[in-house]
Amino acid sequence: MLIHPQFNPIALDLTRFGIPVQIHWYGITYLVAFGLFLWLARLRVRKPWFADAGWTARDVEDLLFFGVLGVVLGGRLGYVLFYKPAFYLANPLEIFSVWKGGMSFHGGLLGVTAAMALFGWLRKRSFWDVTDLIAPCVPTGLASGRIGNFINGELWGRFADPSLPWGMVFPQSGSPLPRHPSQLYEFGMEGVLLFALLWWYGSKPRWAGQVSGAFLMGYGCFRFIAEYFREPDSFLRDLPATTGLSMGQWLCVPMIVGGALVWAWATRRARPVGSTGARA
């Protein structure tokens, strides 16, 4: 049985030197996520079918700007609407208290989707051409975020069998019993494994929409599995008992179904990404 190391959430405290700045590990994981996106997306635009369609490194930088706005605004609004609508309806000013926590991946996904649609409209590019470019570059950012969750000792897992070698006690949970380190499960599944699969799948020309559909299906399936090991939020603990699924799993169902429909539609429609008209 392991015990969570209880990391200091502040990675660098400059207040000791008279500088009013504290750099948190969570902020660093966001920077790592954005840096990985830039690097990977720049590699993607060098692919012949993207380069021939006119994609450049400058486009990647602009995509990151749009994506950051989508993540922050969509993630916060998603948490407000999906998880605690009654609380925020009664306390609307709390919506802006982002420093107190509360972000939703599914809301962030919707926000990024809207941002990419806006980018495509402004640049006169197909929505699917945009999302097929960025989809394989997203899981590394998710992996970085899960490391941040683990460092902060948040979003811990459900209780585990005491004999589980990697069962971990999270003192901040208020219980001395071992739990699943679900943050690391999600790091491995929706981060590393999903990245490997999508990077491989997207390494050859695909019909427009196929890579995006594969991302939706892949993330939805891996997150759905991880939810069996992740402790539900305290205000949603009755939901699995009454419906059989957690809120995270309910939000994954339309992702999986929608991803499958997008992939099937893209395969049947058979329109090449960009302008190459080729498919390996």
Among candidate residues 194, 211, 199, 214, the one with its CA nearest the CA of residue 256: 214
In the chain, the N- to C-terminal Cα span, in Å, equals: 48
Q: Which phi-psi region, left, alpha or beta, contains residue 102 (left: φ > 0; alpha: ψ -120 to 50)?
A: left
Pairing of strands 22-24, 168-169: unpaired
Among candidate residues 67, 220, 222, 224, the one with its CA nearest the CA of residue 133: 67
Question: Is 146 annotated as contributing to ligand binding?
Answer: yes
CA dist 117 and 27 (Å) reads 27
Among candidate residues 199, 212, 52, 196, the one with its CA nearest the CA of residue 130: 212
| CA distances from residue 191 to 48, 123, 142, 199, 239 in whole angstroms, order as listed | 26, 30, 6, 12, 26
Residues comprising the binding site? 146
